[in-house]
Amino acid sequence: MLLEVKQLMVFYENALALNDFSLQVDNGEIVAVIGSNSAGKTTLMNAISGLILDIQVKEKRKGGERVTVLGEVWFNGEDLSRMSPDQRVKKGIVLCRERHPIFPESDVLENLHIAGYLRSRREIKETVDLVFTLFSNLAGYKNRKAGFLSGGEQQMLTIGMALVVRPSLLLLDEPLLGLSPAMQTKLLSAIKTIRQETRVTILISEQFARPLLPMIDRGYVIENGMLTLSGTSRELMKNPEVVSAYFGV
């Protein structure tokens, strides 16, 4: 088992964002966490990546809302629960967030090289070549400033930047949000290829279940911060509750 989340609970002041949530991800899987807006998906991703600890410190420093985190995050048999985000990146966990920050004044190639600061030149070149193979749209825009890319192209760039870090576990937080159906199809095809070409394990949080469910190995359904359903892709697509909530049938 690569990742195990055990009884995770996150409070923002008195509001419960995650309630006793547990999941497991095995090596080489594509696993989805599916839920509506504000279900707790981003909080879960922040907790796995360690970003929630940074949020906790920043809120305390500025006298903002109190953030409480309980439970455990295990990765490769090691408890990372109190480990900082940068330490988790070095362990192999890389988060690609919704509206992930890019460097808009730098061109596409520069953005990819900046992301690879922990890697050798050879590793960066290998991964950049893969990124341009995966995302042919970006290949023609190597020298274009990232701020002038479309929303879908920027999403491709952020995933490319995450890949340059060479993760063992790639966390994708709502990658389909705001994309056209055609761009969603391209992105999902690229995600499947990423798994095939790099063998990286992928955990996706998403509210658009219809295009995502056919390509995953397993999925978890989250509502109001709680796990309500889990199963294989086939099991979830046959579940009447999932069909009703996410397929409009």
> What is d(CA 142, CA 17) in angstroms, rounded to the nearest whole number?
40
Q: Which CATH superfamily is 1-89+203-249 part of?
A: P-loop containing nucleotide triphosphate hydrolases (3.40.50.300)
H helical segments located in the chain = 41-49, 51-61, 85-91, 108-115, 121-134, 136-139, 151-164, 181-198, 209-212, 233-238, 240-246
> What is d(CA 78, CA 195) in angstroms, rounded to the nearest whole number?
23
pLDDT value of position 248: 59
Q: Could you tell me which of 91, 84, 21 has the C-alpha nearest to residue 57?
A: 84
What pairs with residue 8 in β-bridges?
Answer: 21
pTM (2 d.p.): 0.94
Per-residue pLDDT of 110-123, as tens digits, reads 999 999 988 888 99
What pairs with residue 231 in β-bridges?
Answer: 219
Q: Could you tell me which of 15, 9, 23, 19 has the C-alpha nearest to residue 70?
A: 9
Per-residue pLDDT of 78-106, as tens digits, reads 999 999 999 999 999 999 987 668 999 99
Q: How much is the mean pLDDT over the chain?
A: 92
Q: Could you tell me which of 195, 185, 137, 207 has the C-alpha nearest to residue 163?
A: 195
Per-residue pLDDT of 152-209, as tens digits, reads 899 999 999 999 999 999 999 999 988 888 889 989 999 999 998 888 999 999 998 8
Calculate the CA 67 to chain-centre distance: 21
Domain residue spans in the chain?
Answer: 1-89+203-249
Q: Could you tell me which of 230, 181, 183, 248 has the C-alpha nearest to residue 29?
A: 230
Task: Please determine, for residue 233, whether its predicted confidence score (pLDDT) is greater than 60.
Answer: yes
Mean pLDDT of 59-75: 93
